[in-house]
Amino acid sequence: MRAAFLLLGALATTACSATKDEGDPSLGDDASTGKDSGGFVPPDDGGAGFDVPAEAPPPGCTGIRCNQVKCGGTTTTTVSGTVYAPNGTLPLYNVIVYVPNLKPLPLGKGATCDRCGAIASGDPIVTALTDAKGQFTLKDVPVGDSIPLVMQLGKWRRQITIPTVKKCEETKLTDASLTRLPKNRDEGDMPRIAVTTGAADKIACMLPKIGIDLKEFGPGSSGKEYAVEFYNGAQLPLGEPWIGKGPPGTPDATVLWDDLAKLKTYDMVIISCEGYEASTMGPKSPTTDPWPHPQTPKSYQAMTDYLSQGGRIFTTDFEYTWYKYSPDAALRGVGTIPGGAPGGASPITLDTSFPKGKALADWLQVVEPTAPYAQVTCDYTFDNVNAVTKPASQTWTSSGTPTHPRFFTINTPVGKPLEEQCGKAVHLDAHINHTDKVDEGFPAGCVAPIKQGEKAFAFFFFDLAACIQNEGEAPAPPPIK
């Protein structure tokens, strides 16, 4: 009988490892490196003799997929943890976490069409999403040593190795330095980000605060590639050049927003409020005319095309101009935008009637536990936008009487079916940081503690990197084949 058991075990192992996994590039698998990384790992018999597994490995399996085991009852082999921003302290929502069977392929650079529902690169075996606390649980994880784990949010991606996963037990990952997104490109993948500076809102200061390494910041068009590159917008008040200015060598913002080809080299563009409508089509500054960094019809055409081809942009306050003056009637019609930056009521109330809005409220409660639930306060709130239209845009927050939208998102191209939309815009009708300084010594002037409005920015900043989906629906983990 023992000989029969040994023969059955040998046949099971042979069935598992006989087929070489060549990978499938169409699914994001690395065909050049796809290898069988190990056969079935039998249960530990504790030295008391050979035990036959309760169930053989999945038929036709390859790699560590063969290391999945069935446990009795409701017990499963699990891995759990919390994914953080690069600073290791801010938990992140909606991060994809998975165990790959193959080495994931390199990520593309620049604006790309990234829609939810695709199979993640590397032939994922099990997948999960982080919740509003940044927590995840993977079930039916392969057992054994050196189990790979991927944490991904759009072009943010970090790959680590779990030393050991024991069968039918929970492996808790508690070291935040391992489960945070990368600080720099030595640790993993990061999106390419362009930042245009502005006199009014120092949103660039949030980037080092969330943990991005200082070596990843630099001027645009320098000949050297940085993860975050600066372009100079308006600097006000006149005579104070430290306000709204990037590192030495930073080119003018028009170099970026007038050039579609240059825009498309970036995954996202953060456009800081400049203090006035920097538009040749709208009001001029009372202190300088013409505007030193004008947004022209050429600028609006390039930015509209960038959005329609997979670009992502983040705007605050007066940067509503990118929608109000777009040459695309559908994008121009996403809302009623009188503009002019009149004051808006504060605090701002979050809309918890849709899943992601509820997640934002829950997440803010986690990172600001003493603040009132479903409310956020920014340095300044404005009333530039009277209404936005659905389904073209999704309102996340509102305030005032009558109630007007304050934070909203737009999937682009506007008016196209979801399966044809690739880009996204986020607008906060507010200033989140009116106290720090963005100047040639950046980030030396970014000294204020992270405020609630900046934390709201962080939520939308990372959400902007995520795959495109219906904003009114709950995110779903990527499928497995």
Question: Could you report the per-residue pLDDT of 301-358, keeping only the tens digit for each?
Answer: 999 999 999 999 999 999 999 999 999 999 999 999 999 999 999 999 999 999 999 9
DSSP letters, 367-418, are HSTTSPTTEE--SEEB---SEE-TTTEEEEEEETTTTEEEEEEEEESTTS-G
Which of 67, 95, 116 corresponds to the end of one domain?
A: 67
Domain match, 421 and 283 both: yes
Q: Is residue 317 part of a domain?
A: yes
For residue 468, pLDDT over 60 is answered with yes
Which of 67, 93, 113 corresponds to the end of one domain?
A: 67
Strands (E) located in 200-242: 217-219, 228-231
Task: Provide the pLDDT confidence category of residue 287 given band limits of 50, 70 and 90.
Answer: low
Q: Is residue 80 part of a domain?
A: no
Q: Is residue 76 part of a domain?
A: no
Its domain, for residue 5, covers 1-67
Average pLDDT over residues 188-195: 98
Average pLDDT over residues 204-224: 95
Average pLDDT over residues 402-414: 98
Residues 6+ apart with CB under 8 A from 241: 235, 439
Rounded CA separation 67/41 (Å): 6
Rounded CA separation 409/471 (Å): 8
Tell me the pLDDT tens digit for each residue of 242-283.
467 888 999 999 999 999 999 999 999 999 998 888 776 665
Which of 48, 67, 86 corresponds to the end of one domain?
A: 67
Q: Is residue 74 part of a domain?
A: no
Q: Is residue 329 part of a domain?
A: yes
Average pLDDT over residues 102-119: 94
Domain match, 382 and 233 both: yes
In eight-state DSSP terms, residue 243 is T
What domain count does the chain have? Answer: 2
Task: Provide the pLDDT confidence category of residue 428 given band limits of 50, 70 and 90.
Answer: very high
For residue 164, pLDDT over 90 is answered with yes
Q: Is residue 134 part of a domain?
A: no
Q: Is residue 436 part of a domain?
A: yes
Whether 36 and 123 have beta carbons less than 8 Å apart is answered as no
**95 Rama sector, left if φ>0, alpha if ψ -120 to 50, beta otherwise:** beta
CATH code: domain of residue 375: 3.40.50
Whether 263 and 256 have beta carbons less than 8 Å apart is answered as yes
Q: Is residue 88 part of a domain?
A: no
Q: Percentage of the chain with pLDDT > 70?
A: 83
Whole-number pLDDT of residue 23: 39
Whole-number pLDDT of residue 200: 86
Rounded CA separation 226/219 (Å): 8
